[in-house]
Amino acid sequence: MKFTFVTLFSHIIKCYFEDSILKNAISKSLISIDFENPRDFTKNKHKKVDSPLIGGGAGMLMSSQPIADTIKSIKNIDKQAYIIFLTPSGKPFKQNDAKRLAKKEHIVFVSGRYEGIDERVMEIYANELFSIGDYVLTGGELPSLILCDAISRNISGVLGNSSSLQEESFENILLEAPAFTKPNIFEKNCIIKEFLKGNHGKIATLKYDLSLLKTKYYRPDLYKKAKIRIKNEK
Ligand code: ADE
């Protein structure tokens, strides 16, 4: 899978791929990353990529031409490139999206800055718009990294152990069960004894029950959905 980041600030993104799982994924050629800077495509003689809002309003907006021309140049090389814009007005990004998008060959993340991006570029060029939550960040770079990370984990071979993916939070709507490591007693808190006995059947049942409880406590919205699903499966 190829990821292209369209951004004015590629250095913010590059360092994330210099360690750990995503670094390995690049060295195994499971993913590759590339960057395009809209400033390299601007026709403005002062290399400007932003412009005041028409109709008034605070701040500047990223102009349509540099972004449109960046995307066109990417599409000229790869017609199938799948264009995703990061914006607070996009649909909320979910684990199911990460799984679905992991099947694409080439994803392009377009990150806005300033007050955002001229709406028409998104309407014309976006395959999808995504938000990572109901808050406003200073740019789309962090959201694009978040999507890239979540998608990459779902590409075969990126995680050493694919069963760890199946046990993760959201895979079955529920949050992942609490996990523990050594020491068995930490600040007077013991690990549940069943975990130490090595009966994998019992541990699996316990983990499922804990997962239900944890979801009920932290995410009652998900718990409600999970209950309905469990009822329908019976
Ligand atoms: N750009 C700024 N804020 C954002 C958000 N919450 N999600 C996606 N892109 C953004």
Write the CA distances from 22 to 137, 146, 151, 160, 227, integer angstroms.
24, 12, 11, 11, 35
Percent of the chain with pLDDT strictly greater than 70: 99
**What is the atom index within ligand 1 of the atom nearest the CA of 134?**
6
With a CB cutoff of 8 Å and minimum separation 6, the contacts of 28 are: 157
The verdict on the CB of residue 129 being under 6 Å from ligand 1 is no
- Measured from the Cα of 130, ligand 1's closest atom is 8
User: What is the structure's pLDDT at 84?
Assistant: 98
pLDDT, residue 195, reads: 93
List the one residue out of 215, 88, 101, 114 whose CA is nearest residue 147. 101
Residues 62-75 have a mean pLDDT of 98
- CA–centroid distance, 90 to ligand 1, in Å, is 8
**Does the structure show a pLDDT above 90 at 172?**
no
Q: Is 109 helix (H, G, I), strand (E, B) or coil?
A: strand
Structure tokens at 70: 């960046």
Which of 109, 128, 136, 141 most suits a substitution to test ligand 1, by most atoms within 8 Å of the C-beta?
Answer: 136
Whole-angstrom CA distances from 224 to 26, 174, 219, 220, 221 are 39, 10, 9, 6, 5
Min mean pLDDT across 31-40, 90-99, 132-141, 164-173 is at: 164-173
Residue 163 pLDDT exceeds 70? no
Judge contact between 54 and 119, C-beta under 8 A: no
Strands 106-111, 185-186: pairing is unpaired
CA distance 123 to 129: 9
Which residue's CA lies nearest to atom 9 of ligand 1?
Answer: 87
Q: CATH number of 2-152: 1.25.40.340, 1.20.1440.230, 3.40.1280.10, 2.70.70.10?
A: 3.40.1280.10
Q: How much distance in Å is there from the Cα of 231 to the middle of ligand 1?
A: 36
Of 202, 197, 229, the closest CA to residue 215 belongs to 229
The average confidence (pLDDT) of the chain is 95
Q: Give the tens place of pLDDT for each residue, 179-223.
A: 999 999 999 999 999 999 999 999 999 999 999 999 999 999 999
pLDDT > 90: what percent of the chain?
91
pLDDT tens digits for 94-151? 999 999 999 999 999 999 998 999 999 999 999 999 999 999 999 999 999 999 999 9
pLDDT tens sequence across 8-32? 999 999 999 999 999 999 999 999 9
What confidence tier does 168 reach under pLDDT thresholds 50, 70, 90?
A: confident
Contact 25, 155 (CB under 8 A): yes
Q: Per-domain residue ranges for the chain?
A: 2-152, 169-233
Whole-model pTM? 0.93
* Domain made up of 169-233: CATH architecture: Orthogonal Bundle (1.10)
Peptide bond connecting 183 to the previous residue in cis, omega within 30 degrees of 0 = yes
24 burial type by CB count under 10 A (0-12 exposed, 13-18 middle, 19+ buried): middle
Pocket test for ligand 1, best of 61, 137, 147 (most atoms within 8 A of CB): 137
